[in-house]
With several copies, the nearest count.
Chain A
């Protein structure tokens, strides 16, 4: 989560400086504990992970390389999306890291489908699938259909609901009317828990338990995390619509310094060791950015303008 924060701060400053970043930047500030706590439960190469907008920390914990992130944000042709798609849409599906489309909720059934196919092929073993959704995303039909289907099929799917109180500018009161989104779990026949997502310890415990239950064949699991989005929706957004009361509310705690304090208080590391970690992270990020800056951006003349994998079925462009 520390590396995630450092990377995202860099991406934010590159965005504000202009010129280097292609398109928008969407950060997960304040959500690192919740996101990473799920990511570290997953085993790359064996589990399926479908991260969403604010899951940089989860991606790193899952094992996505820094280079994949930086290359996608900088639109390098060397990245997994080759300049065709950007930022948070990146992924390597064949390696279990799904590449989200923008339409919220639509990844739930996709991750479920991966698990379904594995069970059919006899290769499921104790693998799990995990994906995220925001408070806003829970209002989509796709979320509902996907989770219900996963429950009917009793798939080992862990769904993490990051309730950061806002969907872009829309507050929870315009998004749902239940007391806590975890109240939805029972209606799907799914086990659900809610945690204070600003507290790394609670997050770790909840996801550890949920992922274990899923691995044990107990069917889909829902973990709802309460927190506040500490950045704009994207870096173009100053989030001035978030009122002071929320900014100072109990969920506004920044999980990262809180976790640092805990680490120091518990004596797991001292301040200098932590500082070293930051310095190391900054070094890695700067190195990645420096490397990618020299890499090629896509060339339309070298681009293969073909959406189908089947060569023989591709049509010409029927251009004038």
Chain B
């Protein structure tokens, strides 16, 4: 028996619904249809009256979740694709994110965002919006990269008394499997050493963790041992674990799938450069997607985002320094 990343997301919602009567699910086509990706498959049968098909109204979906949270509920909102959260943006960054700070009323909502690129999905079904939300005070942004984290971090997100943007990567939905969900992982806010190493550190998150791991394997053949840090949550970002890794290796490559201006990789480098400058034996590097919308055709898409090959090439340059 094995369980996929997507199934882990379903199971976590199952658990949350089972254990906490305040939890409910709201999103387009998540009821009897089970969601565009089947992340809520059968949940509306198993928990009648707690899984709702919403109108195509992302702004109102988030607003209603905030209102429900004020009344003590713990709603999980599913965006059909992260990209569509752009029309719910205001309710997320101005309504949900400011509620506690303004009024001392906690806002325990979880917004699930199917994120990231897959071949043939194009500019509006492939976006990674974690940096957009992380810029705003009052939100927690998680980016699970493993089946275990998909499960435990979703449960943790639901338990947190603040709005959580849960970025689940669509590329991992079906491909990524584990034998079982496994025991509880690290808490949100702590990064994970996905692979220990001595010569350089890659700091990354979400689907890029797996590309980074494969690039690290490739470099192993050349005799280099590369450490891979999986951030797990990009806000809060676990600066201590990053710095400790750079202290061991002296070299840093930050890898992300999002657009290149600003974002997670810039934040990683800014932290290490400011707080761990003396740890660096070489200039820190970063690798992102290109500065264009995400292309539809697989030929282009594969070249738009970082790949094993471009990560490995960047590592080689970093190690040569």
Cβ-based interface call for B250 (8 A): no
Interface contact A112-B64, CB-CB below 8 Å: yes
Cβ-based interface call for B140 (8 A): yes
Interface contact B54-A93, CB-CB below 8 Å: no
Q: How many residues of B contact A (CB 8 A)?
A: 96
Interface contact B162-A309, CB-CB below 8 Å: yes
Interface contact A103-B90, CB-CB below 8 Å: yes
Interface contact A175-B55, CB-CB below 8 Å: yes
Residue from A101, A141, A318 with most neighbouring chain B CB atoms (10 Å) = A318
- Stretch of A26-34, A78-86, A213-221, A254-262 on the interface side: A78-86
A115 to B36, CA, bound (A): 27
Given contacts A75-B296, A99-B99, A319-B260, 13 further A-B contacts (CB under 8 A): A84-B102, A106-B94, A109-B64, A110-B63, A112-B63, A121-B73, A170-B29, A170-B33, A174-B31, A175-B55, A300-B303, A308-B138, A309-B162
Interface contact B57-A139, CB-CB below 8 Å: yes
Indicate with 1 or 0, residue by residue over B300-312, a CB within 8 angstroms of chain A CB atoms. 1011100000100
Q: Which residues of A, 159-189, contact B by the 8 Å Cβ criterion?
A: 167-170, 174-176
B271 / chain A contacts, CB cutoff of 8 Å: 318
A106 to B98, CA, bound (A): 13
Cβ-based interface call for A225 (8 A): no
Q: How far is the CB of A98 from chain B (nearest CB, A)?
A: 8
Q: Is the interface of A mostly helix, strand, loop or mixed?
A: loop
Interface contact B63-A109, CB-CB below 8 Å: yes
Interface contact A317-B260, CB-CB below 8 Å: yes
Interface contact B260-A318, CB-CB below 8 Å: yes
A175 to B125, CA, bound (A): 22
Give the 5 A-B CB pairs with smallest separation, nearest first: A113-B67, A109-B63, A300-B303, A113-B64, A83-B297
Interface contact B103-A99, CB-CB below 8 Å: yes
Interface contact B290-A317, CB-CB below 8 Å: yes
- Stretch of B4-12, B116-124, B175-183, B222-230 on the interface side: B116-124
Q: Which residues of A, 251-284, contact B by the 8 Å Cβ criterion?
A: none
Which B residue sits closest to A300, measured CB to CB? B303
* Neighbour of B102 across the interface among A89, A104, A113, A140, CB < 8 A: A89
Interface contact A320-B56, CB-CB below 8 Å: no
B138 / chain A contacts, CB cutoff of 8 Å: 307-308
Interface contact B56-A136, CB-CB below 8 Å: yes
* Neighbour of B295 across the interface among A84, A168, A314, CB < 8 A: A84
Q: How far is the CB of A156 from chain B (nearest CB, A)?
A: 13
A142 to B88, CA, bound (A): 9
Interface contact A85-B122, CB-CB below 8 Å: yes
